[in-house]
Amino acid sequence: MTKDERVDCFPPKLPGCKHFFLKLGKTGTVLYQPRVLFEAEHNLYDLRSGYREVFTGLYALELIPGLDEALWTPDMVDRLASGAVVQGPEGAPQFRIPRLLEEESYLERMETKFLKYLVRHGGVEILSNVALNVFSRFNERREDFGERCTGTAKYALRKELDRAWDLFERKLEQVKERGLRHPELFEDRSDLHRIIERIANLFLDDDLESALPVSGPQRYPTGRNETEFHLAYLEEEARRQVQDLKRQYYEKARAIESYRIHLRLAEIEIVKRGLLWTPGDPV
């Protein structure tokens, strides 16, 4: 014991202060040491992510001076389960009472500090995918969130592929019309339709897992002429564009990171306040 504290058989009588005890199953004479206790209800909402959660937290905090600007750091604060706190002491209690508790309006000052602490350090951490503007929901597992990101990426990829196909379809129609006007350019007209169908099928593949490196230009074995060269390079251009889009959305689907949602003062309501007496070693 120091000059900054005293030991008594009873807890101090402070205005508006309730006393709570940490349940640890002690017997015999127990020396209790105080911490500040607050229970707060949080109605958390984040506009950007749309995340909403209502929860209650029970907090035990180390004693700090009430007359300065000092705040707790997270290592000075414990979150407790509601069943860990009881309203009566265990064993034959003695109470170590720091002089800090005798400061005027100590608990009121601690409550003000606690609200500042929650605004600075409180809140929740969720998952985000900024590239797709997707955020995890309440209690959503990382695997489920990852699957949802993949689904969102595939949906966006599908729209991109459809837009790209619209442009290629116009180019192919021009080549097709020329081929129909000049059938002598193809030994077999079915070659023309086969190549166009092959290019069209490229835009139907929205499998993100198949975003593999692109091979070199495909060579056609017969009848090389300007029209066939045009088709060959259109096919290569389509293949590369499709693969680039698939790689782009493959990477977006996996761009998952943490997103911190901080509490705002209006989202906090203190529902319980007092001192928590923590059993130390028997004396």
pLDDT tens digits along 209-239: 776 555 555 544 344 566 777 778 888 889 9
The predicted model gives 116-126 an average pLDDT of 95
Residue 48's CB is within 10 A of a number of other CB atoms, namely: 11
Question: 83: exposed, middle or buried (C-beta count within 10 Å: 0-12, 13-18, 19+)?
Answer: exposed
d(CA 124, CA 103): 33
**Domain identity same for 11 and 118:** yes
**Domain identity same for 14 and 114:** yes
Provide the domain count of the chain: 2
Phi, psi of 97 (to 5 degrees): -115, 105
Name the CA radius of gyration of the chain, rounded. 34
**Domain identity same for 138 and 244:** yes
Average pLDDT, the chain: 86
**Domain identity same for 246 and 204:** yes
The predicted model gives 248-256 an average pLDDT of 96
Does any domain span residue 58?
yes
**Domain identity same for 176 and 267:** no
The predicted model gives 146-170 an average pLDDT of 94
**Domain identity same for 78 and 155:** no
Give, in order, the Cα–Cα distances in Å from 273 to each of 8, 123, 214. Answer: 22, 20, 65
**Domain identity same for 240 and 272:** no
Residue 232's domain comprises 134-253
Q: Give how far the C-alpha of residue 170 lies from the chain's centroid of Cα atoms, to the nearest Å.
A: 43
Q: Which pTM does this prediction carry? A: 0.74
Strand 268-282 with 29-45, pairing: antiparallel
**Domain identity same for 163 and 112:** no
Does any domain span residue 128?
no
Q: For a pLDDT cut of 90, what percent of the chain falls above it? A: 52
**Domain identity same for 9 and 39:** yes
**Domain identity same for 40 and 78:** yes
Does any domain span residue 129?
no
**Domain identity same for 241 and 154:** yes
Q: Which of 123-127, 178-182, 247-251 is the least confident region?
A: 178-182
